[in-house]
Structure 1
Amino acid sequence: MDLRKITDDFSVSPQIECEDVADIAEAGFRSILCNRPDGEEFGQCAYDAVAEAAQAAGLAVRSVPIVSGMLSEADLAAFRAALDELPKPILAYCRSGTRCTMLWSMTSFGDLDADEIVKATSAAGYDMSGLMRQMQQAR
């Protein structure tokens, strides 16, 4: 597993497997948030299997599947609701962790300064500077 901390309450990861869930719980996470649609890639672990393993481990779990390049306002609202409602800390996963990081950055913009977002995401290995510039210009 490649867990990357963005904040004390939110981390991201590339695709997880069912057998990773016990380690995720042991690492102190209380929730898993899936941002990857089933069937995006051959052989990926299905959300229902991850959800079953998470529930068995006592973790909350939710799916807000985002098709790459097809992000909508409703998707952002669902992601923000998940962040607000799920017990923390939350581990979000997608194919590489980038999609989750982008969603967090977009929903955090306005609550956090763009520089804070870039610093937090860069420390986790994700460059959101271009996205933050676009969001600042769109204001």
Structure 2
Amino acid sequence: MTTGVDRGLPADMREIGESFAVSGQISLAHVRAIADAGFSVIICNRPDGEAPDQPGAAQIETEARRLGLAFHYIPVFHSGLTSENVEATRRAVSQADGPIFAYCRSGARSSNLHALTMS
């Protein structure tokens, strides 16, 4: 798995586990870089409409699927993580056939979900 801003990946991307990376909000242009870096799955943990300028999950999903990536929309609202979020993430991880890239506003919700699915 290749990483780096020089390859068009988000500047705040962090690898937090084997074959698992997180970042804040991604753009449509990032989806191509994520695919080119060898990721096979994108997980969106950011609810649509949190910020007026964020692309909707459906837009990211369309581009991801066009590029051959699996996509999972598992929004974590400000009320906090739920057992449903954790279980949906476990399913997404178990179905993945390669590295996973998850995003939210800052990467924190995605990181927390990853930690809970590994325990």
Aligned length: 109
Partner amino acid for 1:39?
A: G
The 8 Å contact of residues 60 and 87 in structure 1, kept in 2 or not, is answered as: no
Please, which moves more after superposition, 81-90 or 24-33? 81-90
User: Partner residue of 2:53?
Assistant: 43
Q: CA deviation at 1:78?
A: 0.9
Q: Secondary structure at the match of 1:88?
A: coil
Amino acid in structure 1 at the alignment position of 2:30: D
Q: Deviating runs (4+, > 6 A) in structure 1? A: none
| Percent of matched pairs sharing the same residue | 39
Give the equivalent residue in structure 2 for 1:15.
25
RMSD over equivalenced CA pairs, Å: 1.1
Q: Which structure is higher in RCO with an 8 Å CA cutoff and minimum separation 6?
A: 2
Task: Report the Cα distance in structure 1 between the residues aligned to 2:96 and 2:43, rounded to whole angstroms.
Answer: 9
Matched, 1:99 2:112: no
In 2, the alpha carbon distance for the partners of 1:45 and 1:86 equals: 24
* Matches for 1:127-138 after TM superposition, within 5 Å: none
Q: Give the distance between the partners of 2:108 and 2:61, measured in 1 at CA.
A: 21
Normalising by structure 2, report the TM-score.
0.86
Which runs of 5 or more residues in structure 1 are unaligned?
110-139
Q: Is residue 27 of structure 1 aligned with residue 10 of structure 2?
A: no
Report the TM-score when normalising by structure 1: 0.74
